[in-house]
Amino acid sequence: MAMETVSTNKAFGGAQGVYKHRSSSTGTEMTFSVFVPSHAAGAKLPVVWYLSGLTCTHANVTEKGEFRRACAELGLIFVAPDTSPRGEGVPDDPAGAYDFGLGAGFYVDATEAPFAKNYRMWSYVTEELPALVAAEFPADMDRQSITGHSMGGHGALTIGLTYPDRFKAVSAFAPIVAPGQVPWGEKALTGYLGADRAAWRRHDAVALIEDGARLPDLLVDQGTADNFLDGQLKPELLEAACGAAGIPLTLRRQEGYDHSYYFISTFLADHLRWHAERLG
Amino acid sequence: MAMETVSTNKAFGGAQGVYKHRSSSTGTEMTFSVFVPSHAAGAKLPVVWYLSGLTCTHANVTEKGEFRRACAELGLIFVAPDTSPRGEGVPDDPAGAYDFGLGAGFYVDATEAPFAKNYRMWSYVTEELPALVAAEFPADMDRQSITGHSMGGHGALTIGLTYPDRFKAVSAFAPIVAPGQVPWGEKALTGYLGADRAAWRRHDAVALIEDGARLPDLLVDQGTADNFLDGQLKPELLEAACGAAGIPLTLRRQEGYDHSYYFISTFLADHLRWHAERLG
């Protein structure tokens, strides 16, 4: 589980690092970024996980997310994994589409050939990388929270709903709330998990809630000018599921905001404050 | 002087735009970005100019600068020009080096062939683009300030020192303070302006101060872990010139920071607050 430092840069008094390691989950080299704020010697800090969207790597949020000022103020470690395995021999979408394969792991452990060997992002993000972060950084693993954007919002919601005791706060930006009901999700879950929709339900936030998963509360920001709002994101489905389940959802429809990092960067500090309140 | 909108994205309540236009100064199409905060109808806002460094376009600071939150709070328009002409027929460094030619205009009007035709970034940034900004945006051109990074810090200092009445605040990040005394500057000024060093002095902040240019005060941030500190930047030369001239210079040596946007983004909001105080 050796980890190699790709780069570190001082920022907002802390250290923004990029690291790579050989992943046993994916069978590939994986790159991720971690921001560690300035802290007292020996202190352990809460950890916020940020899962990125389609086409992204760790770099998008690291460069454009504008999270470091708030993390420094609040004393939060911020971890940003990649969105899929990459490298020679890793199968991609047969047509090279952006919404499946490379950059589009959908935070599942694939069961279908030829993806099952490498596309194990669920295990990577929920088991292997947390163990590495716990070993290598001043992380208090009893205080974790999770957020993400779009496909990564889907990942944050499904992982948060699956491990409500591990994550003290769960939020999302423009998440795919019901992949089983929209084209991006239907394509990905078919490709990674096969045609049996029963196997999809634990990777679908709305289905998880319908099947009994619960959270103490949930924060979601969604831009009203998001091109993917009606076709792929459908926050009203999450609203209905949370309403039926009694999950207090704060769904903020942000007027005029789109699907880009201009939207995320505007509200990410808000989310971090909300996480910090719940991380204690 | 028609301007075309490349993109606009809502961010921090305002509009982050990217625009292009045909420049009469450079004879090329030029791209720049402007952030306009939310403002009352009919209001005119002060304008902060940000000049970028070697290899950059408008995009680097626009994506990585983390200036929008502060600009929104302070009510500042933020303009980021490109660093050189670009496009077919624009001559580049003969060896394709990063420090001359494309991405490296050095904010001068070249007099040497073959660069004199297109490399007129001084005129572009001090005349043509301000006229366009005044015409197209809710800009109060009586309240302008200027800052920049590295080569763009050089540009901000030399332009600020040349037009002290126009710019109510001048600051810089890791500027090339004395291009006539360092390799980057000697190469660029020779290539653009010729071998006669007398012609360089009005494009050299330290020489301008030695020759009598004055500012009411000046803010400079410089990382101590900057790779270019000793060879190219030499803030001690600015310190000496300001000391001799009686210019109050606040030179902050920021421990452990490098030359990257991780450094700039950490301190850009500080600069904007300092500018806002002087812009009234």
Q: How far is CA A164 from CA A143, A170, A208, in A?
A: 12, 9, 12
Q: Residue B120 has what pLDDT?
A: 98
Contacts of B262 in chain A (CB under 8 A): 9-11, 16
Q: How far is CA B246 from CA A50, A100, A220, B154, B213, in A?
A: 49, 62, 54, 20, 11
> For chain B, which residues score pLDDT lower than 70?
1
Average pLDDT over chain B, rounded to an integer: 98
Write the DSSP symbol of residue A18: E
pLDDT of B44-80, one tens digit each? 999 999 999 999 999 999 999 999 999 999 999 999 9
- CB within 8 Å: B69 and A66: yes
Write the DSSP symbol of residue B75: T
Tell me the sheet residues that pair with B101. Answer: B104
Write the DSSP symbol of residue A83: S
Compute the count of residue pairs across chains A and B with CB atoms less than 8 Å apart: 57
Please give the distance of CA A162 from its chain centroid, rounded to a whole number. Answer: 13
Is residue A125 within 8 A of residue A30, CB to CB? The reply is: no
With b meaning 16 or more CB within 10 Å and e meaning fewer, what string describes B227-251? ebbeebbbbebbebbbeebebebeb
Distance (Å, rounded) from C-alpha B69 to C-alpha A136? 33
Specify the amino acid at residue B33: S
pLDDT of B154-198, one tens digit each? 999 999 999 999 999 999 999 999 999 999 999 999 999 999 999
Strands A249-254 and B3-11: unpaired
> For chain A, which residues score pLDDT lower than 50?
none
Is it true that the peptide bond before B94 is cis, omega within 30 degrees of 0? no
**How does DSSP assign B50-69, residue by residue?**
EE--TT--HHHHHHHS--HH
Sign of the dihedral defined by the CA atoms of residues A228, A231, A233, A237, in that order: positive
Contacts of B223 in chain A (CB under 8 A): 10
- Which of B66, B256, B257 lies closest to A66 in CB terms? B66
Distance (Å, rounded) from C-alpha A4 to C-alpha A26? 17
- CB within 8 Å: B263 and A225: no
pLDDT of A120-157, one tens digit each? 999 999 999 999 999 999 999 999 999 999 999 999 99
- Which of B10, B63, B256 lies closest to A10 in CB terms? B256
Contacts of A64 in chain B (CB under 8 A): 63-64
Q: Residue A2 has what pLDDT?
A: 85
Sheet hosting strand A139-148, strand order edge to edge: A3-11, A14-22, A29-36, A77-81, A45-51, A139-148, A167-173, A218-223, A249-254
Q: Residue B2 has what pLDDT?
A: 85
CB atoms near residue B6 (< 10 Å)? 13
Contacts of A266 in chain B (CB under 8 A): 10-13, 68
Chain A interface, Cβ < 8 Å to B? 9-13, 16, 63-64, 66, 68-69, 223, 225, 256-258, 260-263, 265-266, 269
- CB within 8 Å: B262 and A9: yes
Q: Residue B55 has what pLDDT?
A: 98
Distance (Å, rounded) from C-alpha A50 to C-alpha B113? 51
- CB within 8 Å: A13 and B64: no
Average pLDDT over chain A, rounded to an integer: 98
Q: Which of A13, A18, A43, A41 is nearest to A29 (CA)?
A: A18
Is residue A99 within 8 A of residue A83, CB to CB? The reply is: no
Is residue A138 within 8 A of residue A36, CB to CB? The reply is: yes
ipTM of the complex: 0.96
Q: Which helix (H) or strand (E) holds B255?
A: none
Is residue B37 within 8 A of residue B11, CB to CB? The reply is: no
A23 catalytically annotated: no
Q: What is the CA radius of gyration of chain A?
A: 17
Distance (Å, rounded) from C-alpha B240 to C-alpha B184? 21
Q: What is the CA radius of gyration of chain B?
A: 17
- 3-class SS of residue B172: strand
How far apart are the CA of A244 and the nearest CA of chain B, in angstroms? 33
Distance (Å, rounded) from C-alpha A205 to C-alpha A212? 11
Write the DSSP symbol of residue B260: S
Q: How many residues does chain B have?
A: 280
Distance (Å, rounded) from C-alpha B120 to C-alpha B85? 8
